[in-house]
Structure 1
Amino acid sequence: MKYSIRALAWPTLLAVTLAGCATTAPMHFHTLVPQASGAATANAASFLIDVQPVDIPPQVDQPQLILRQGASDVVMLDGERWASPLADEVRGALSADLSSMLGTHDVNGLPRGAGQSIVRIKLDVRRFDSELGGQATLEAAWTVRGKTSAACASRVSEPAGSSYSDLVQAHQRALAQVAGQIAQVARAVGSGQDGRCP
C-alpha cells in the first residue's frame, strides 16, 4: 500500500505542534494593588478623594513586565504580565493606599453629592524602573487640589529581591511610600492649609 508524503506529513506536523503547545511556559499575572486591610483609620479625613488617571512612560506601559539591565538594555518578559494596563495598576494601588491611609473613599468616575468636599490627586510617573536583584524605582510628579493646592515630586527606591513576585512587592512598597507623602499633603489641602511638599 502506498501513502503520499503529504498524507504522512500532516500527522507528524500535528504531533509536533501539540507537543510545542504542551511545553509552553505558564503565564503569570501580577498586580500592584495591595491586599485589603481590615484596620480602620483612627483619624478619618473629612473629605473624599478623586484619584485621576495616571500617566506612565510609554517604554514601560506594556502588558509585560519590563526589566532594566545595565545602563541601556531592557528585557520584556512575555511570561510575566500585569493583571491590567500598568497605568490602571498604579492608579488602583494609589487609590487603595490613599483610601486606607486617609480613611476616605475614591469617587473617581462616580456621581457626587452637592456640598461634598473633594480633594483631587493627579500622579504623573516619570520613571518606573525594575531591576531583578536590584531596585524598584519610582519617580513621579503629583498635584493635590482642594481648598488649596500643591505640586510636588517624589523619588523612591525599594530593594527588589530575586523573584518577579518580590520585584512587584517592592513596587507596591514604593507606591505606598509615595501615597504616604501624598496623604500628608492631602490632609493639609483638604483642610484649607498650604500643602508643604515632603
Structure 2
Amino acid sequence: MTAPAVDLRQITKQFPGVLANDEVDLTVDRGSVHALLGENGAGKTTLMNVLYGLYKPTSGTVVVDGQERTFDSPRDAIDAGVGMIHQHFMLVEPMTVTQNVVLGNEPRKWGGLAVDRERAREAVAELAERYGFDVDPTATVADLSVGEQQRIEILKALYRGADVLILDEPTAVLTPRRSRSCSRCSTNSPRPARRSSSSPTS
C-alpha cells in the first residue's frame, strides 16, 4: 500500500496561554487537494507551519512520504519535498522573476564560479509554461500585480521540487481564472501522482 504524502498524527501546538492545535490528525494522499476550513484563529496556519518546519509541535508526529520527520527549519521541510506559499509574500521586489525563483538554488557555470543566468531564465520560463502561468521571467517583481507575485511564490516552491504544496489563503489575491490555474499544480506535474496541496482558508 502506498504511503500518504503527509500524515500528521496527534499534532499539538501550545503557545503561552494559547492551545493552537489540540491532537490534530490530517492525512493527505498523493495527487489530492485539500482545504482546511475554519474561523480566523482556529489554528489552520499554525498546523501548516508545523508541517513546513516554522514551528516545532509540542507533541505529535509528522510523517512525509512514509518517513517520520523532525523539521528544525523550513530548509528541512523543503529538502523533504514540502513547499509553502505564505499569505504575505517573501519576494525581493527589486529583483527579477527569475532571480527570485532561483534565489539560493541558482544554476552555475564555469565550475561554479558564476550564475548561469540564461539557464536560470530558461528553467523559469519552462516551469511557468508547464503550469500555465503567464509570467515574464525578466520582469521586475515590484512591477507585478499581487496575483502575479503569488504565482512567482508558487513557481519558487515548484522549482525547489515541492511534492507537497501548502498555500496559505490561496484565493485571497487570485482571480477565479488564476485560482483554476493554481489547481493545475496538482495535475500537470511530471510526477502528478506525487504532488498534493493543502490550503488553509478562513
Shorter chain as normaliser: what TM range?
under 0.3
Normalized against structure 1, the TM-score is what? Answer: 0.23
Which is higher, the Rg of structure 1 or of structure 2?
Answer: 1
